[in-house]
A and B are shown apart, each in its own frame.
Chain A
Amino acid sequence: MFETLILILDATLRVSTPLILAALAGLFSERAGIVDIGLEGKMLGGAFAAAAAAAVFGSAWIGLGFAILASVGLALIHGFACITHRGDHIVSGVAINTIVAGLTITLGLDWFGMGGQTPALSGDARFLTITFPFADALADVPVIGLIYSELLSGHNILVYLAFALVPATYWMVYKTRFGLRLRAVGENPHAVDTAGISVAFVRYRAVIICGVLCGVAGAYLSTAHNAGFLKDMSAGKGYMALAALIFGKWRPVPVMFACLLFGFLDAVAVRMQGVVVPGIGEIPVQAIEVLPYVLTVLLLAGFIGKAVGPKAVGRPYVKERA
Chain B
Amino acid sequence: MSQAKVPVWVNVALIPLLNIMLAFAVSGLVILAIGENPIEAAGYLIYGAFGYEEGIGYTLYYATNLIFTGLAVSIAFKAGLFNIGGEGQAYIGGLGVALVCLWLDSSMPFIIIMPLAVIASALFGAAWAYIPAYLQARRGSHIVITTIMFNFIASSLMVYLLVNWLKEEGRMAANSRTFAENAWMPYMHEILAPLGINISDSPLNGAFILALICCAFIWGLIWHTRWGYQLRTLGTNATAAQYAGIDNAKVTIWVMLISGGLAGFVGVNEIMGVNHNLLLNFTAGYGFAGIAVSLMGRNHPIGIILAATLFGALYQGGAELAFEIPTITPEIVVVIQGLVILFSGALEHMFKDRIEGFFIRRAA
Contacts and interface: CB of A to CB of B under 8 A. Distances in A.
A161 to B, nearest CB: 28
Given A98-B337, A239-B149, A284-B160, 4 more contacts: A94-B288, A95-B342, A101-B334, A102-B332
Interface stretch (B137-145, B224-232, B265-273): B137-145
8 contacts: A37-B148, A81-B347, A95-B346, A99-B339, A101-B334, A102-B336, A300-B135, A301-B135
Nearest to A101: B334
A294 B149 CA distance: 7
Interface string B320-364: 000000011101111111110110011111100000000000000
Interface in B83-119: 84
A97 B346 CA distance: 13
B329 A290 contact: no
B72 interface: no
Interface in B16-70: 30, 33-35
B126 interface: no
A99 B145 contact: no
Contacts of B347: 80-81, 85, 87, 92
B315 interface: no
A216 interface: no
A102 B333 contact: yes
B242 interface: no
Interface size band for B: 35 or more
B156 interface: yes
A265 interface: no
B341 A98 contact: yes
B160 A95 contact: no
A107 B149 CA distance: 30
A207 to B, nearest CB: 13
B173 to A, nearest CB: 17
A290 B156 contact: yes
Contacts of B152: 236, 239, 290, 293
Given A85-B347, A87-B345, A293 B331 contact: no
Most chain-B Cβ atoms within 10 A of its Cβ — which of A100, A236, A284, A301?
A301
Contacts of B327: 109-110
Nearest to B352: A85
Contact of B149 (A87, A91, A98, A296): A296
B149 A243 contact: yes
Given A98-B341, A284-B160, A302-B140, A239 B148 contact: yes
A99 B131 CA distance: 29
A-B CB proximity, top 7 nearest: A102-B334, A99-B338, A98-B338, A92-B346, A300-B141, A102-B335, A91-B345
Given A102-B334, A106-B34, A95 B348 contact: no
A172 B243 CA distance: 43
Contacts of B145: 242-243, 246, 296, 300
B345 A293 contact: no
A103 B30 contact: yes
A91 B332 contact: no
Nearest to A296: B149
A261 interface: no
Q: Which of A77, A103, A116 has the most CB of B within 10 A?
A: A103
Interface in B144-165: 144-146, 148-150, 152-153, 156-157, 159-160, 164
A106 B84 contact: no
Interface string A168-186: 0000000000000000000
Contact of B341 (A82, A85, A95): A95
Contacts of B135: 297, 300-301
Interface size grouping (class) on chain A: 35 or more
Contacts of A95: 338-339, 341-342, 345-346
A313 to B, nearest CB: 10
Contacts of B157: 286, 290
Contacts of A100: 338
B49 to A, nearest CB: 18
Nearest to B34: A110
Contacts of A293: 149-150, 152-153, 156
A287 interface: yes
Contacts of B131: 297
Interface string A98-127: 111111011101100000100000000000
A187 interface: no
B335 A300 contact: no
Contacts of A289: 156
B345 A88 contact: yes
B91 to A, nearest CB: 14
A56 to B, nearest CB: 16
A86 interface: yes
A80 B347 CA distance: 8
B82 to A, nearest CB: 5
Contacts of A301: 135, 139, 141, 146
A242 B152 CA distance: 13
Interface in A286-322: 286-287, 289-290, 293-294, 296-297, 300-302
A90 interface: yes
B291 interface: yes
B329 A91 contact: no
Contacts of B148: 37, 239, 242
Contact of B328 (A82, A90, A106): A106
Contacts of A91: 82, 291, 295, 341, 345-346
A206 interface: no
Contact of A297 (B34, B35, B141): B141
A85 B176 CA distance: 48
A93 B82 CA distance: 13
A67 B139 CA distance: 39
Nearest to A81: B346
Contact of B34 (A81, A107, A287, A300): A107
Contacts of B160: 284, 286-287
B289 to A, nearest CB: 8
A105 B329 contact: yes
B329 A297 contact: no
Contact of B349 (A86, A109, A236, A290): A86
B82 A90 contact: yes
